[in-house]
Amino acid sequence: MRLFDKIHPDHLDRRELQLTLLACCTILVLGAGLALLMYPVVFSYSSSILRNAFYGFCGLSALLAVYLVDRQITILHLRRQIAEAGRRAAETKIEASAELLNAIPNLNSFKDRLAMEYRRAAAAGQVLSVLVVTVTLPEEVSSTPFAISLLSDAAKAISRKLRGEDSLYVLRPHCFGTILPTVSRPVAERIAKRVADGLSDAAGATNRFTYKISVVNWPANAASAHDLQEAVLTLLPADNSMRSMAEETL
């Protein structure tokens, strides 16, 4: 039983081909051997029944072997079609993910919105919070097109946990941010926990990615608009590769 448990899924096609060839060879060898044993008996008598039975046996043996070969060829064609359909579906998903990431406002839009919300909060005597979410991908996928799909899933998970008036921004390829007007730090931390729950669900049990959520609040963590912006920028990674990868995918 352990022998079969060790079979890798990628080797199943080869194992099935080997089994089909073995079955065909067995049928041909047994059929040919039995036909040779039957031949003297059949043709030593002038009985049409024996001859018809002999010809029928030879024909059935050949048809069975041909059927097994045709079955294997059909299975190979179907599996190739399924693999091709899966590849096209994966490419379509990556392209859609790249479009989603490129549609999200970038760092420049974030800075403009942050300055506007700061002026509004300062004039109204309100507070202002910012969430910075940094997504870390496994090394084996961080430089592949599949990374775009993971980042897209993370972006959708974040968006679903935000309020209707909150907007999501791509601050860096692996980093997202959102501005929370009139939100104090304790409330922002509760929103961050809600976002963390959504990201955990998106990452799945296999931890497809990890994340870190930081909260920056005015006036708790900054005394001016410049200080608030600098506090956010210090949390951002310096890598820009993923944004260019998303643009190349499109």
- Full DSSP string of 176-190: EEEEEET--HHHHHH
What domain range includes position 30? 2-100
Average pLDDT taken over every residue of the chain = 79
74 and 173 in a single domain? The answer is no
182 and 127 in a single domain? The answer is yes
- Amino acid at site 9: P
Of 71-85, 93-107, 221-235, least confident by mean pLDDT is 93-107
Question: From the CB of residue 33, how many other CB atoms can be counted at a distance below 10 Å?
Answer: 10
Task: Write down the pLDDT at residue 7.
Answer: 55
Residue pLDDT, tens place only, 223-248: 888 888 888 888 887 654 444 444 44
Q: Are 156 and 103 in contact (CB under 8 A)?
A: no
Residue pLDDT, tens place only, 10-31: 666 677 777 777 777 777 777 7
Q: Is the pTM of this model over 0.75?
A: no
Last residue of a domain, one of 50, 85, 100: 100
Q: Tell me, what CATH number does 155's domain have?
A: 3.30.70.270
Rounded to an integer, what distance in angstroms lies between the CA atom of residue 210 and that of residue 232? 20
Task: Write down the pLDDT at residue 98.
Answer: 73
Mean pLDDT of 57-69: 79
Of 4-8, 129-133, 210-214, least confident by mean pLDDT is 4-8
240 and 146 in a single domain? The answer is yes
Q: Which of 157, 119, 154 is nearest to 137 (CA)?
A: 154
Mean pLDDT of 59-64: 79
**Domain count across the chain:** 2
Q: Which of 238, 237, 189 is nearest to 213 (CA)?
A: 189
Residue 163, pLDDT > 60, answer yes
Mean pLDDT of 106-127: 89
Mean pLDDT of 199-213: 85
Residue 9, pLDDT > 70, answer no
159 and 244 in a single domain? The answer is yes
Share of the chain above pLDDT 90, in %: 5
